[in-house]
């Protein structure tokens, strides 16, 4: 009898461990998570404008139907990536998520204090390299450090009125998820990028 109870207790403890393991592994094995769903819209490394949410045809669950949305899955394995977009004057925001769908960074047009998006996403190691060899073209960029190797970025642009939708969608379609990190922003800069002893922060 006591023996049986001990085995039952062991089973309960093992069950607790299984519970924890399942909860922790669900994001890696889910097949309807945001990352997997976004793969439907097109190849990685580019922004894809999602159709506006309408009853019956929501591209992703619980997207705001008053926001135009574009998503891009990216990988940092081949170096930092740069996101560039010219946005409309009204509210917009951009959020960066890891592969598991957790938010790691977000920003809106007012906190960005500018009307365009110029965001460089780098891993901690890549950021150290960027600091040692600053790229002049990135002086105006917002450089963020994220501890992830893969993830996705999502831009939301407010559409106050259906007549403004084409403009918002055009801006999102022109958004670049793999802009040249070394390319000069406004003025042309010399091609070689290794410039030691410039103003490292």
Partner 1 sequence: MRLLIDLAIAILIAAVVGFGSAVIVLDRDRLFGAVTRGEWTAWPDSGSANADPYTEAMLARSGEVPLGSGEGLAFTAEADRNGARLSGRCSYRIVGQTPAARLWTLTAYDGDGHLMENPANRTGFHSREILRREDGSFVIQVSPHVEPGNWLPVETDRALRLVLRIYDTPLTSGGVGDAILPSIERVSCS
Among 45, 79, 101, 167, binds partner 1 (CB under 8 A): 101
Q: Positive or negative, the Cα torsion across 164, 48, 84, 91?
A: positive
Of 135 and 169, nearer to partner 1 (C-beta) is 169
- The b/e string for 34-61 (b: 16+ C-beta within 10 A; e otherwise) is bbebbeebeeeebbbbbebbeeeeebee
Does 68 participate in binding partner 1 (rule CB under 8 A)?
no
Does 10 participate in binding partner 1 (rule CB under 8 A)?
yes
Compute the residue count for the chain.
201
Does 51 participate in binding partner 1 (rule CB under 8 A)?
no
Size of the site for partner 1 (CB under 8 A): 60
Of 33 and 44, nearer to partner 1 (C-beta) is 33
Q: How far apart are CA 41 and CA 58, in angstroms?
A: 13
Q: How far apart are CA 66 and CA 168, in angstroms?
A: 11
Report the interface residues with partner 1, using CB under 8 A. 3-4, 7-8, 10-19, 21-24, 26-27, 30, 32-34, 36-37, 53-56, 58, 60-67, 91, 93, 95-97, 100-108, 110-111, 154, 156, 158, 160-161
């Amino acid at each position: 009898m006591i023996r049986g109870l001990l085995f039952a207790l062991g089973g309960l403890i093992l069950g607790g461990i299984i519970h924890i393991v399942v909860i922790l592994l669900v994001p890696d094995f889910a097949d309807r998570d945001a990352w997997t769903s976004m793969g439907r819209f097109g190849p990685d490394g580019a922004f894809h404008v999602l159709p506006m949410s309408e009853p019956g045809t929501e591209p992703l669950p619980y997207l705001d139907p008053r926001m135009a949305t574009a998503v891009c899955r990216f990988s940092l394995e081949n170096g930092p990536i740069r996101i560039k977009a010219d946005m409309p004057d009204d509210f917009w925001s951009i959020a960066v998520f890891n592969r598991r769908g957790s938010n790691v960074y977000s920003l809106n047009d007012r906190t960005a204090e500018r009307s365009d998006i110029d965001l460089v996403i780098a891993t901690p190691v890549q950021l150290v390299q960027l600091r040692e060899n600053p790229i002049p073209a990135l002086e105006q960029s917002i450089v963020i450090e994220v501890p992830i190797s893969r993830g996705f970025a999502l831009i939301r642009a407010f559409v106050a009125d259906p007549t403004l939708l084409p403009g918002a969608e055009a801006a999102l379609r022109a958004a670049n998820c793999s802009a040249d990190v070394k390319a000069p922003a406004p003025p042309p800069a010399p091609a070689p990028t290794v410039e030691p002893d410039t103003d490292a922060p």
